[in-house]
Chain A
Amino acid sequence: MSHHHLTGLSAWLVQRLSAVFMLGYVAIVAVIATCQAEIDHQQWRNLMAQPLFAIATTMFFLAMLMHIWVGVRDVILDYAGHYPMLRLMLLALLGAWLIALGIWLIRIMTMVMT
């Protein structure tokens, strides 16, 4: 996997950049949540469908999935790094799992937007 994307320095960078983006997103959402009184379903949907918020949220999901890839990959390499077959299987499983979650999240966002 050493020539794969998201390893080494680029993995480190992706982990940091995604972290900073998510930090900003969480800070903004925390402010919105604190200022907002209790909301109902329609208001919740309207908020999520607002173009700027929808884009930021989609980018948050993307950042989160990439952050998870780097983080869990580190965990796998730490504990299964000396077993190539196991390592490959776990990484493939992780990749497939994250892609599945990504598709699920995109479907939720398209449901909200339509």
Chain B
Amino acid sequence: MDGLIQLDKRNNRPRFLSLWQIRLPITGVVSILHRISGVFMVLLLPFLIYLLQLSLSSPEGFEAARAMMTSWPLRLLGLLLLWIFVHHLLAGIRVLLIDMEWGSDLITARRTSWAVIIGTVLVVILIGAMLL
């Protein structure tokens, strides 16, 4: 994109598409992470179902699943998944509150966005410390 502001062909409204130049407000950051985290979990879902099946199939499968989950690459993946899951969950609670018309004003919306980010870090540290 060299022309930063273009006219949208469909309705002649200006369109700004330099993603690296858009400074997303914190509410937008939480929102796009909500979406990315959801898609990421959907992509990982077959593997998680496979792990569930393996762990339930037999004592050997259970041990194999345990060994897999406690290997270092998967521990890191698990930590990332935990982060993504907690973010999605907290951001989702925020959306539910906004649906109930709590926190839809800009100041509260910014505060709850920070609460989602910081709350996620705290929960991940807490659970991560318990698991590792």
Interface residue? B93 (CB, 8 A): yes
Interface residue? B74 (CB, 8 A): no
Interface residue? A108 (CB, 8 A): yes
Alpha-carbon separation in the docked complex, A16 to B56 (Å): 30
Q: Across the two chains, which residue of chain A brings its CB closest to B127?
A: A30
Contact A48–B99 (Cβ < 8 Å): no
- Beyond A101-B49, A104-B49, whether A23 also contacts B42 by CB under 8 A is no
Please pick, from B35, B42, B52, B96, the residue contacting A68 in the complex, using a CB distance under 8 A: B42
Q: Across the two chains, which residue of chain B brings its CB closest to A104?
A: B49
Per DSSP, chain B at the interface is: helix
Contact A16–B99 (Cβ < 8 Å): yes
Interface residue? A26 (CB, 8 A): yes
Interface residue? B45 (CB, 8 A): yes
Contact A16–B96 (Cβ < 8 Å): yes
User: Chain B interface (Cβ within 8 Å of chain A)?
Assistant: 10, 35, 38-39, 42, 45-46, 49, 52-53, 55-59, 61-63, 89, 92-93, 96, 99, 130
7 interchain residue pairs of minimum CB distance = A41-B62, A41-B59, A108-B53, A71-B38, A19-B92, A68-B42, A112-B56
Q: List 28 A-B contacts (CB under 8 A).
A: A16-B96, A19-B92, A19-B96, A20-B96, A23-B92, A26-B89, A34-B130, A40-B59, A40-B62, A41-B62, A42-B59, A44-B62, A45-B56, A68-B38, A68-B42, A71-B35, A72-B42, A75-B35, A75-B38, A75-B39, A82-B10, A101-B46, A104-B49, A108-B52, A108-B53, A111-B53, A111-B57, A112-B56
User: Chain A interface (Cβ within 8 Å of chain B)?
Assistant: 16, 19-20, 23, 26, 34, 40-42, 44-45, 48, 68, 71-72, 75, 82, 101, 104-105, 108, 111-112
